[in-house]
Amino acid sequence: MEDKIYKGKLVRLAIQQKDNVKAYERWNLDSEYARLADSDPSYLWSRQQMAEWIDKEEDCQVSFNIRTLADDKLIGGVGLWISDWASRNAWVGIGIGEREYWGKGYGTEAMRLIVRFGFRELNLNRISLDVFGYNERAVRSYEKVGFKVEGRMREWINRAGVRSDLIYMGLLRREWEAVEENLE
């Protein structure tokens, strides 16, 4: 049986490494990336701050780099934060820092891989995420993986003078199994 946990057709999940600081530092200079990834105002981090953030692995966190299969290029990161082990719930976050890989299926495949890891390896029952309403590309990507909109906080964030909703999405293990079955 081929190992499908960490590897797809476009990307693979890889261990976080200290030498990845340069890539994350470069992505931090892209204010659009920063505005898609975080609700905080876009601000610059020093190399030391970035290294400390990458090294900060919390007890209930599993993080991976996203690398292309074609040339092993680091293009982003993805992680799970276990919010409740007893209930088997986690939050997921993803960021594709390399713009030339936006909108081409790399993020969707990386999300499929981290969700598969969460359900198969960590035995999770539910994975949740939130996304800004203006990030329509991400919403479509998450829906392809099987996530469903569960609610929204109206006009939650202000970006460049425009108010946008914060959308909550969730995926249950049984829903994922149905989607996964159709992909195999």
Q: What is the band of 1 on the pLDDT scale with cuts at 50, 70, 90?
A: very low
Closest by Cα among 148, 84, 78, 166 to 115: 78
pLDDT of residue 166: 95
Average pLDDT, the chain: 86
pLDDT of residue 5: 78
Fold of 11-183: Aminopeptidase (3.40.630)
8 A C-beta contact, residue 69 and residue 1: no
pLDDT of residue 180: 81
Contacts of 59 (CB under 8 A, 6+ apart): none
Lowest-confidence pick of 1-10, 45-54, 144-153, 170-179: 45-54
Q: What is the mean pLDDT of residues 162-181?
A: 93
Rounded to whole angstroms, the Cα distance separating 61 from 91 reads 9
Residue 59 has pLDDT above 80, yes or no: no
pLDDT of residue 184: 58
pTM of the predicted model as reported, rounded to 2 decimal places: 0.85
Tokens at 166, concatenated? 């914060």
Residue 85 has pLDDT above 50, yes or no: yes
**pLDDT top residue among 20 and 149:** 149
Lowest-confidence pick of 16-25, 92-101, 134-143: 16-25
Q: What is the band of 70 on the pLDDT scale with cuts at 50, 70, 90?
A: very high
The upper half-sphere exposure of residue 131, i.e. CA atoms within 13 Å in the direction of its Cβ, equals: 23
Residue 153 Cα to chain centre, angstroms? 20
Contacts of 109 (CB under 8 A, 6+ apart): 8, 9, 10, 11
Lowest-confidence pick of 38-42, 77-81, 84-88: 38-42
Residue 55 has pLDDT above 90, yes or no: no
